[in-house]
Each structure stands twice: as C-alpha cells, then as structure tokens.
Amino acid sequence: MLELYNGALDVPAILKRWYEEESPNNYGAYIPFVGTVRAEDGIEGLSFDIYEPILQSWFSAWEQKANNKGAKVVMAHSIGDVMVHESSYIAAVFSPKRRVALELIDEYVEDFKASAPIWKYDIIDGLRVYAKERSTQIKGSGLLGVIQ
C-alpha cells in the first residue's frame, strides 16, 4: 500500500488505520518509522516533488521482497509543502515475528532515502530551494555524461 497525500500527513489517523487493517492478519510485529520536519537553518518547512511511476515500481519491488519473508511493507508520503513540526513520511513493516520487521525497516527506509524518486526543497521566505547538498544520486547516475 503506497499512499500519497497533498500536504502534511495525518500521522495518528494513518497509523491507526494501518493497525486496524492488519490486526486480523496475524502479524506479531508492526514497526512504523515517522519522518517529521525539524526546525533548522531557519526553514519554514519542506516541499516535495514525486515521480509516481518509478516510485510505484520501487515500492512494488519492496512489497515483493517483504512478501518473500512473510512480511508486509506500507508507506505514506507528502506531495507539496509540509511545515516545521509536521510529518511528511511514514514507512512501516508488519511481520509475524519481530526480527524480520526490525531488520527490514532499516533496509527499507535507507533504500527509500537512496533510491525513491522524490525531490526535497527547503521553504525559505516562502520560496522553494532544492536541497541539493542533502540529496543522493540514484545508483547508475551520470550515465548520459559518460559519452562526453
């Protein structure tokens, strides 16, 4: 389940709904990770662009990987502006026993940061400034520059 929302996430409602949806499915562990916008460097908030077709492919591959371990992954992410102290990202893993979920949540969130086609901007004086220094090149980047 990949959920995209315009603006900040309603974290309590999403976590509650996922909990209730999966409770009958005999998962013994539910581990959510919630990303919240911190007040730093004078930003008013963050803003996000998402390229959905490739995000969906990335997420489908993770669904399959989790399924192979008897687990389930879900995520929610914001599109557009999310102000300081609001949340823009939730990732969660359900698994029959804790060990698989504890290990998967780490890998799942880190791979998301490295590979998911989402671009972050600081909101400063109401303007969006690309967070270039905090961004990561997707594996295989620079392919078109090889020929020069």
Partner 1 sequence: MVRVEFLGPIQKEPLNIEANTLSDVAKILSQDEELKEWIATSAVAVNDTLVSSLDISLKDGDKISLLPPVCGG
Give the residues lining the site for partner 1 (CB under 8 A). Answer: 35, 48-51, 53-54, 57, 77, 88-89, 109, 112-121, 130-132, 134-148
Of 27 and 79, nearer to partner 1 (C-beta) is 79
Virtual torsion, Cα 65, 111, 82, 135, nearest 10 deg: -160
Of 13 and 146, nearer to partner 1 (C-beta) is 146
Question: Residues 96, 18: contact at Cβ < 8 Å?
Answer: no
Cβ at position 39, least distance to partner 1 in Å: 17
How many whole angstroms from its chain centre is CA 9? 12
Cβ at position 139, least distance to partner 1 in Å: 7
Of 64 and 135, nearer to partner 1 (C-beta) is 135
Cβ at position 33, least distance to partner 1 in Å: 9
CA dist 85 and 90 (Å) reads 14
- From residue 60, how far is each of 31, 38, 73, 91, 116 by CA, in Å? 19, 30, 10, 14, 12
Cβ at position 43, least distance to partner 1 in Å: 14
Of 25 and 136, nearer to partner 1 (C-beta) is 136
Amino acid of residue 76: A
